[in-house]
Amino acid sequence: MNNSLFDHFHPDEHPFVDKAWEWVQKADSRHETRLTDFLDPRQAYILQTLVNRVGHTSLHLDGGSEGAERARAVIAPDYLFVEQEEFRLAVLSVDAGKGAEQLEHGDYMGAILGLGIKRDKVGDIHVHANGCHCVVAEEISDYMRLHLQQVHRVHVQTEVIPVRQLRPTRIVLDEMDFTVASLRLDGIAGDVFRLSRAKALVPIKAGRCRVNWKVEEDPSKQLQAGDVVSMQGFGRFRVMEIEGVTKKGRIRLKIGKYR
């Protein structure tokens, strides 16, 4: 690959860029079709950028529901029609009964990863009152059905259902209002996660913070409305709105913290 292409991406992203470029080249030059594992929005953006560099290749995404955050991609010659079945998606329906009241998204994810399943085989998890619907790669769905028997301390029952039976849930954000001196990443993250600026610097400089799914190591990064910030070990939030400036010159923000 032309090394100049790497200049557009964070060093941590270079292995994915290299792999994705190989997929795109094979689709373009050999007329091959490639199904990927689940991609986050940043990876999907990178892949689309690479597809745009070649002439006769198209990218198709499907995460099981409209607006899915994580999706599998099919890279194919642009003359091919891609059917939904080609994405090989399944839904693991998890019934936790009354115990579901004490379970959250992170509990289901932790239990799934505890089975030794890689994160890129798992799409969005839709939490319901009695359990969840988890979009997964079809090839691991039976394994999950057989082995996922407990979430946190709650015994669960599972079944694999078709994607058409998926019940998506709306993302719920806890709204928070702040006034800040500036739109710096470290300051806003510190306020949201109730950390001092010094403590907020640690995960950022360690590469454990992402802005719009891209690693961000600059604590002075200026955030904008719509930005999604995740910090490993603390959670994530969205800058919902920049509402103006107070009489004392501070910036009013509305933040939505993911549950």
* For the chain, domain boundaries: 3-83, 89-165, 173-258
Backbone angles phi, psi at 30, to 5 degrees: -110, 0
Q: What is the largest CA-CA distance in the chain?
A: 62
Angle between helices 185-193 and 197-205 (to 10 degrees): 110
Nearest to 48 by CA among 63, 40, 58, 39: 58
CATH class, 173-258 region: alpha beta
For residue 47, the SS3 value is: helix
Separation in Å, CA 218 to CA 3, 89, 208, 214, 234: 24, 37, 11, 12, 18
Place of tokens 């359990």: 131
CATH topology agreement for domains 3-83 and 89-165: no
Write the CATH number of the domain with boundaries 3-83: 3.30.1370.160
Write the CATH number of the domain with boundaries 89-165: 3.30.70.330
Per-residue pLDDT of the chain (259 residues), as tens digits, is 556 677 778 888 899 999 999 999 988 888 889 999 999 999 999 999 999 998 889 999 999 999 899 999 999 998 889 999 999 999 999 999 999 999 988 899 999 999 999 999 999 999 999 999 999 999 999 999 999 999 999 999 999 999 999 999 988 889 999 999 999 999 999 999 999 989 999 999 999 999 999 999 999 999 999 999 999 989 999 999 999 999 999 999 999 998 7
